[in-house]
Amino acid sequence: MSSMIVPTALAEQVSDELGLLSSREVCRRSGITYRRLDTWTRTGKIVPVVGAAGSGSARLFDPSVLDEIADLLARIGECPLHHHEAQHERPRRP
């Protein structure tokens, strides 16, 4: 499957059909930025099931990548999901 090229415009549809996650969905679910995902993918820390073939094509990831990201974040002492939730908490009234 890694030789498949998926146009970015079709990434969400194809990922749903194959049970995979688009880069956007991985970032949304994990709380990391696209830039961090891109860096980790380019350096081999995260490996997509379907790799991008330049601009205009999408990477698709197995859902298990979320566990890999959680492990990477734990190693560097970050947990953006908790940070994200704290930012959106309403202030308590006295």
CATH of the domain at 78: 1.10.1660.10
78 compared with 32, residue with greater pLDDT:
32
In a domain, 32, yes or no: yes
Range(s) of the domain holding residue 51 = 6-87
DSSP state of 46: S
In a domain, 93, yes or no: no
Looking at residue 4, what is its pLDDT?
58
In a domain, 92, yes or no: no
Please count the structural domains in the chain.
1
In a domain, 94, yes or no: no
Q: Residue 37: which residues within 8 A CB-CB, separation 6 or more?
A: 23, 26, 27, 30, 46
Per the prediction, the chain carries an average pLDDT of 75
In a domain, 80, yes or no: yes
- Residue 89 pLDDT level (bands cut at 50, 70, 90): very low
In a domain, 77, yes or no: yes
Q: What are phi and psi of 74, to 5 degrees?
A: -65, -40
Looking at residue 91, what is its pLDDT?
44
In a domain, 73, yes or no: yes
In a domain, 50, yes or no: yes
Distance CA 48, CA 58 (A): 10
Mean pLDDT calculated for residue range 71-92: 61
Q: Is 24 left (phi over 0), alpha (psi -120 to 50) or beta?
A: alpha
